Chains A and B, each alone.
Chain A
Amino acid sequence: MIPEVGHYALILALCVAVVQGTLPIYGAAVGNSSLMAVAKPAARGQFLLVLLAFCCLGYAFADKDFSVLYVAATSNSQLPLHYRLAAIWGAHEGSLLLWMFILSIWMVAVSFFSTHLPEAMRARILGVMGLVSVGFLLFMLTVSNPFERLIPAALDGRDLNPLLQDPGMVIHPPMLYMGYVGFSVAFSFAIAALLGGTLDAAWARWSRPWTTVAWCFMTVGVAMGSGWAYYELGWGGWWFWDPVENASFMPWLAGTALMHSLAVTDKRGGFKAWSVLLAIMAFSLSLLGTFLVRSGVLTSVHAFATDPKRGLFILIFLAVVIGGSLVLYAWRAPRVGLGGSFALISREGMLLANNVLLVAALGSVLLGTLYPLFLDALDLGKISVGPPYFDTVFLPLMTPAIFLMGIGPLAQWKQASLPALAIRLRWAFGVSLATAVAVPWLMGQWTPLISLGLLLAFWILATILVDLRERLLQAESGSVGGRLATLPRAYWGMVVAHAGVALFIVGVTMVKGFEVEQDVRMNVGETATLGGYTFRFDGTEQVNGPNYVAARGTFHVSQDGREVTVMYPEKRRYFVQNQTMTEAAISPGLLRDLYVSLGEPLEGGAWSVRLYHKPFIDWIWGGCLVMASGGILAVSDRRYRLAWRRKEAAVPATAQMARPTVS
């Protein structure tokens, strides 16, 4: 009964979405206020209905209702409750429901935090989001219904893929989807502005916080996915340039570019058409990612549920949504005004130059990801494009981008002078160059790449310091702390996010440069030394999990004779799918991770063991978290808080402030 309730709720949600996607947009076009007013309650009603459906599926999992096909396919009676709940998004149908659920969360958020928008704008935004959700609800109800019954019911489920039975599964997909789907808000703002012809600086200011929040989720989501792959897949890598990873990285790059171009549009009213295009791109790439992950057109380590038939549906949906928006763009964008002037050498110019680099990087990832498909479709042979390609191409694109990232924040708006900048930054450059050369040399291994990586990281940090110092000197007198506190949070957000990039680069550089690994055959009692740590193998014992049995090894790790930690890597065999999984043991640390992974049992209780010493690797994810917290800080800036607190009546629906810009 409960699954039918869920199914029915989805059907109702579809009806509501159709209403939400049509009436308010029509109302905005003809200026009918009562039609526009439908948007808000529709969005909220749709949220409640999707929430109900989501809870129904959750209940079916919690209740072990194996008469529901999806539940039987992705869970098992022995699977612990938290994984049964996470199994909601363990495969295709449920992932879509999660997508839809998160879309409705964003819709409700827009309905609450848009009271300061003109009514027509709000109606259009919610209308566009309604149209997007029509597509996804149709998709679910036609070819991927999570509530489909299995009659007769299965005695037990086929279990969740053991790779997914991990705490990462509980949080990574929701985070990532919050990011993916969050870009639908920026997208809807852009489409609404194109529809209404109200594309102006106010549009940019309204879009900025939404874009930044979605970007923060995306950053955390991608970082968590990378961290999860690092400890779960068992070979110690953290980024493989796999199509599914690229699918999440591309919208991130587009979102990053969008945040920066919105800054130009907000400040100078310029490059509106470009910002709109980026907003469309960010969401298009989210949809493209969904297509790549779900359709199986590319092979991936992370593909868990693929089906070409569903791929066709997403492709058609993608063609309609994105194609339609791009046509609308081509129609409306030429009529957008230019905005204020600024020189090539100015902060605006540098932000846009960074945009060019980010978009070129995005284009390379797209090209590399799809190129095998292109060649295959043209029958020109099969090739693989992997990490060596992306590493080679990415470095020359990212180096100037990072370099600009140091200069940009110090350049004046409108017009800056290069010689003056060079003088202000000469010490920052000198110091970071000297440190970058000296540090690897002192650590005993110097390569140009390590130095380049460190140079970029130190450059970011040094320029931040120069900027802070100058701002302190400019500020009126007061204590240093007081003067720092007067700087707006948006500024601090930028500083923190950029520092996060620096930490990230340090992590990547140190791991690539100084990582050590060893494959050893270890008898019980034997030791191996790596990176100054001594690992002693004390044998394995059998451990019984809820739905698996494991051989668990014990490794005592010591440094200079003192015990540091004990590590317990496991080799698990999951009963239902009879699959063997390597659970690496990781001892994380600020300056290094120790990583032990069991290979195969050898004769006499010995095991083949892989040991890693990975310096600074946690800085990679730490850096991402710092970036995301920078975003949060920026969003909490005073002007946004003020804007959100305002009452609806503050701006009457008729206030078309943008008219002058659209000629």
Chain B
Amino acid sequence: MNRFLIPFGLFIVVVGFLAVGLTLNPRELPSPLVGKAAPEFSLQQLHDPEKVISSNDLKGKVWLLNFWASWCGGCKEEHPVLIRIAQSGEVPIYGMDYKDQRSEALAWLKDWGNPYQIVAVDEPGRVGINYGVYGVPETYVIDKAGVIRYKQIGPIREDILEKKILPLVRELQKQ
């Protein structure tokens, strides 16, 4: 083989990778927590500060944990989808009000509707760190044993809901 062809060969490999790279989003991070037990939490409830919501209370059912905030634009975008899930009653959604102010969060839910069974308050963002949250909205699918099965980064869109999240939820509910 012609050794003068080596640069061309290397170049083709690099261009191939760059072409694949164009289709990827460098800012989307796969979670190392998928397949692991969901971190436990025990937090004040948004609507009733006297009460506490704990992750242990949710064992035995499949549920969605949705990190959101009143200041977050993507949350408004996915909100109608969450409302639709809530109306269908297929899977309960628990909200995590992330680094937010109570009054604003309450007003937001009042204005736009509340898809959540219960909303927990994570004002300092600690639970968010335990879940590896780096931007809201993020949504976790958690199974009956309390294991994270899927993480959605960014707003849930209709197609993601239909193709990924709901089929997964149905399968997990059968187990």
Task: Tell whether A pairs with B.
Answer: yes
Q: Are B27 and A299 in contact (CB under 8 A)?
A: yes
Question: Known contacts A299-B27, A370-B14; is A330 also within 8 Å of B20 by CB?
Answer: no
Please encode chain A, from 276 to 293, with 1 for each CB lying within 8 Å of some chain B CB and 0 for all others: 010011001000000100
User: In the bound complex, how far is the Cα of B19 from the Cα of A318, in angstroms?
Assistant: 11
Give the chain B neighbours of A308 by CB distance below 8 A: 22-23
Q: Does A372 contact B (CB under 8 A)?
A: yes
Give the chain B neighbours of A329 by CB distance below 8 A: 4, 7-8
User: In the bound complex, how far is the Cα of B8 from the Cα of A85, in angstroms?
Assistant: 41
**Of all chain B residues, which has the CB nearest A296?**
B26
Give the chain A neighbours of B23 by CB distance below 8 A: 308
CB distance from A266 to the nearest CB of B (A): 22
Please encode chain B, from 29 to 46, with 1 for each CB lying within 8 Å of some chain A CB and 0 for all others: 110000000000000000
CB distance from B158 to the nearest CB of A (A): 23
CB distance from B106 to the nearest CB of A (A): 26
Give the chain A neighbours of B30 by CB distance below 8 A: 381-382
Tally of chain A residues near chain B (CB < 8 A)? 33
Give the chain B neighbours of A377 by CB distance below 8 A: 17, 20-21, 24
From residue 130 to 150 of chain B, which have CB atoms closer than 8 A to chain A?
none
Q: Does B129 contact A (CB under 8 A)?
A: no
What secondary structure prevails in chain B residues at the interface with A?
helix
Q: Are B12 and A323 in contact (CB under 8 A)?
A: yes
Q: Are B4 and A311 in contact (CB under 8 A)?
A: no
Question: Of B8, B17, B18, B29, which is within 8 A of A327 by CB?
Answer: B8
Q: Does A385 contact B (CB under 8 A)?
A: no
From residue 348 to 389 of chain A, which have CB atoms closer than 8 A to chain B?
370, 372-374, 376-377, 381-382
User: In the bound complex, how far is the Cα of B28 from the Cα of A381, in angstroms?
Assistant: 11
Q: Are B26 and A299 in contact (CB under 8 A)?
A: yes
Q: Are A330 and B4 in contact (CB under 8 A)?
A: yes
Q: Does A265 contact B (CB under 8 A)?
A: no
CB distance from A303 to the nearest CB of B (A): 10
**Of all chain A residues, which has the CB nearest B2?**
A330
From residue 28 to 72 of chain B, which have CB atoms closer than 8 A to chain A?
29-30
CB distance from A635 to the nearest CB of B (A): 28
Question: Of A284, A330, A334, A373, which is within 8 A of B21 by CB?
Answer: A373
**Of all chain B residues, which has the CB nearest A333?**
B4
Give the chain B neighbours of A273 by CB distance below 8 A: 4
Question: Known contacts A298-B26, A322-B11, A370-B14; is A376 also within 8 Å of B21 by CB?
Answer: yes
User: In the bound complex, how far is the Cα of B19 from the Cα of A150, in angstroms?
Assistant: 32
Q: Are A295 and B22 in contact (CB under 8 A)?
A: yes
User: In the bound complex, how far is the Cα of B2 from the Cα of A376, in angstroms?
Assistant: 32
Question: Of B8, B15, B27, which is within 8 A of A330 by CB?
Answer: B8
CB distance from B18 to the nearest CB of A (A): 6
User: In the bound complex, how far is the Cα of B18 from the Cα of A372, in angstroms?
Assistant: 11
Please encode chain A, from 322 to 346, with 1 for each CB lying within 8 Å of some chain B CB and 0 for all others: 1100110110011000000000000
Question: Of A295, A298, A323, which is within 8 A of B11 by CB?
Answer: A323
Q: Are A376 and B26 in contact (CB under 8 A)?
A: yes
**Of all chain B residues, which has the CB nearest A322?**
B11
User: In the bound complex, how far is the Cα of B20 from the Cα of A382, in angstroms?
Assistant: 15
**Of all chain A residues, which has the CB nearest B5?**
A330
Provide a sorted-by-A list of 28 A–B residue pairs whose CB atoms are within 8 angstroms. A277-B7, A295-B21, A295-B22, A297-B21, A297-B24, A297-B26, A298-B26, A308-B22, A315-B15, A315-B18, A318-B15, A319-B15, A323-B15, A326-B11, A329-B4, A329-B7, A330-B2, A330-B7, A334-B4, A370-B17, A373-B18, A373-B21, A373-B24, A376-B21, A376-B24, A377-B20, A377-B21, A377-B24
